Structure formats: C-alpha cells, structure tokens
Amino acid sequence: MKPRPAVGDLALARRAAWAAMCATLVALGGEASAGEPGSAQIEQARPVASALRYDQEYPVIGYSRTPVDNAIARLQERLDRGEVELEFKPTRGYFDSLLAALDIDPSSQILVYSKTSLQFLKIRARTPRAIYFNDDTYVAYVQDSDLIEIGVMDRTLGPVFYGLDNRRVAAPRFEREMSRCLTCHDRFSMTGGGVPLFKVLSVLVDVNGQALSGGSSIMVTDRSPIERRWGGWYVTGRHGSQTHLGNILVNDPSEAQDLEQVRRGNLDTLDGLFDTRPYLTNTSDIVALMVFEHQTTVQNLITRINFKARTFVANDARSGRWEDVSPKTRTLVQKMTEPLVQAMLFVGAAPLEDRFESTSGYDRWFEARGPRDTAGRSLRELELETRLFKYPMSYMVYSEAFDGLPDYAKAFIYERFLQILSGQDESAAYAHLSSGDRQAILEILTATKPDFAEFAARAAG
C-alpha cells in the first residue's frame, strides 16, 4: 500500500491541477487594520514588496498582509484558545460541526453541478457541489473530498478564501488561499485593475457538468432575468409559470435544443433526480438562490469601493484629510459609489412574474434574523409576489462589510438614501419605489441603524 501523501503534497497537487484547469475554466462562483481612513485621516499608499498584484495596485488595502477581520479568522482564534471544537464525523468530516460554529443553517443549501469549482473533477449532476451560507460566509461541500472550500466577506479586504483539510487531525486549521482562488474570483481575471469578488454563474451543462457547446454563461446579479438564471444549478421551490434554466439534465447538446422538453420546475425536493442522502437536505432552495445572488452583488460593489476609493483618495489627499481631496477625486468616488446605492435599493432588479415559495424552510430562518423596528417591520421580510423583498432596501446595510466602508463613502451613501427616501430625488431610476415604500424604509432604517439615524438627525438639524 502506498503511503498517503502529506498535506503539503496534496496542496501542491491541487495547485497544479487548478493552474491547468484555469486556462479554460471560468469559476463560480483578525482585527481591523491600524490607521483605517475616516473622514479626517486617510492612510497614504505605501510601497510593498509583494508578488500579489492586489498589493502592488492597491497598497492601501494590504490584501495579503493585513490582519483579517472576518468570521473565519475569529473562529480560528476561538479554536486556538480552546473555546470551541470542530467535531469530526463519518461521511462529511468536520463539515456539519463547521456550519454550526458559523451559525449557518442547512436550509440555505444550494446545489451546483456545473464544473465551476476548484474540485471540478468530483462535480457532476449526480454529485453536485453544495454551498451553505449566511450574511458573510460561504462554505462548500463536495462528496468524497478532503477539502472544504470557504469564502468569507472581510470587513476591509472584501472576499477572502480559505481551505480546511477535511481529514481528522489534532488541531483543524483554516489555510488562507491566494492565487489559485483569485485566478477566477477577480473582476478582470487577474489581468490588472480588478478586485476580488464572489462569482455566481449560470451556464447550461450536461449531466457530467461540462458546458454545452454553443452555450453561453452569465454572471448573475439582481438584474439578470430569471429565465436566464440557474443553468447548472438544482432549483427547488415553487415559482408558478416563471421559467428558469435550473434542473436541466441532458447527456448531449442536441437534447437542449428544445428547452421546454427538458425543463423541470416547481419541485419540492430533488428526490428522484440523484441520491440526496449524502447532503444535509434534499433541496436547493429558490429563495436561498435569489438571496445569495443579491448578497454577492452588494458585497462585490462594496469591495470595489473599498479598493478603488481608498486608493484614489490616498493618492490624492497628500495632507491626509478627506477635506483636502480634489473636486475631481471627490466626484470620481461619488460616481463609483452610486451603483452601490442603486443595488441596495434594487434599481433594475428583475421582477418576479409569479408567486415564489421556499420549500426548505430557508425563508423562515432568513426572516427571523432581524433586526426589527417597534412596529415589527424588518428589511429581511420577503415579498415573493412581484419582487424579492417587501421593503426594497438591502439588509446588507447591517453587515460588517458595509460598516467597514470609509466614512466619506458612507456619508455619501447616507446622503443619497435620505434624498431618495424623503422623495427629494424622484428620478426615473427610483420610480419603482412608491411613496409608501420610501416612508417605510426610512422609518425602518432610522429605527434599526443607529449611525444612519445620527446622520439623518445631523442633516435635519
């Protein structure tokens, strides 16, 4: 019997496979740093000695060396102090225990069978990759794998990627991933000028997970038409007459010539399509998928602002004060911030054409996470008749990543929120917000987001 490769050898082998695969594959998708810039002080860009392109192009971020402030870094600290343990169990190893430690519910399970992952060799329709998530962390399980893939939204760094060796060891440890994940998880595929991001793709594939010849893939956002979403994904839940590209299982491209003949929709479970027993549930929830897509859209925009705005300002404000930034740079920062304002208010979001329903229980788990105002209203309340949320303002306003934006960017965002929600801005982009929507959102936001309430009070005073 051959000796089992050491962990380091496995890592080298994975890197080699990943480098070869990335030539043709498009993938899915501590403490705050000292001296974080605010409205008064702005950290100057510093020269760095790093091979990582992000460190060269965005030195103010310090992507590879800054102490990370995210859920995985904090969990590792708790593991190191002995405050929590990960339990190893047959079949899924540390996975179940890891989800519990991160407060991620099994109902968030979404399943993808396109080969859009580091572990593409193990993924196909009968062995899909399972992703579970909460507001900031994404954990992926692949059958018969000794690697758990993790993506997490860091307060300052944006998307950070980790791997956890899923074999029984004395002290489980998260290893931060760099180039082999960032080769694909990048705005411009590492060609320069891009920033890290989470990718969610829709691409028609065969039962082996291979993209169908002549098919096209799209990176899914809130604005993507529902009928073009979820190619290569399993989808459960009710959606009435609305069509999508999920659950399409074909052996040959010719079978996909007439999609109406191969569509599968309005499924309560995935039982009968493949063996779901190795997974935590037998669902891949349609509501979870839509929340997942909205959340990653907003997180990617936050990351872009953090990287680019901080860099522009640091290069321009030689005095170290936002007040001394040139009008040109101020305008540039504000223009790049407006898309985040629009995304958080669901500008251009694809409408729902029929009633959507969760069948996994994800909707109840998601809505219960609050916060709520004194009237019991929450930005997490789902509508699911014509749009995703009852009150179309993103719950990501409560996230650590949003709070980690530089003060000057948040001030502009809050100013725009006030202009739009008060009715001062009645431009066409925000015509989807009724006067009732605006008033309700403003009241909820004021009651549940203290720093916004303070900003609004100062603006009114």
**Model confidence pLDDT, tens digit, residues 24-58:** 233 333 222 333 333 333 344 444 557 788 888 99
Task: Please list, in sequence order, all residues whose beta carbon lies within 8 angstroms of the beta carbon of residue 135, skipping any fewer than 6 positions away.
Answer: 295, 369, 395, 396, 398, 399
Find the mean pLDDT for residues 8-13: 38
Cβ atoms of 380 and 394 within 8 Å: the answer is no
Res. 116: pLDDT tops 70: yes
Q: Which helix (H) or strand (E) holds 150?
A: strand 147-154
Place of tokens 């540039």: 332
- More confident position, 392 or 22: 392
Rg (CA), the chain: 22
Burial of 152 (0-12, 13-18, 19+ CB in 10 A): buried
Q: Name the residue ranges covered by the structural domains of the chain.
A: 294-460
- More confident position, 7 or 254: 254
Confidence of residue 65 (pLDDT cuts 50, 70, 90): confident
Of 351, 350, 355, 349, which Cα lies nearest the Cα of 241? 355
The predicted pLDDT at position 1 comes to: 38
Distances from the Cα of 121 to the Cα of 129, 165, 200, 416, 424, angstroms: 11, 18, 19, 47, 54
The predicted pLDDT at position 41 comes to: 33
**Model confidence pLDDT, tens digit, residues 236-286:** 999 999 999 999 999 998 998 899 999 999 999 999 999 999 999 999 999
Cβ atoms of 344 and 217 within 8 Å: the answer is no
Res. 179: pLDDT tops 80: no
How many other C-beta atoms are found inside a 10 Å radius of the C-beta of residue 202? 22
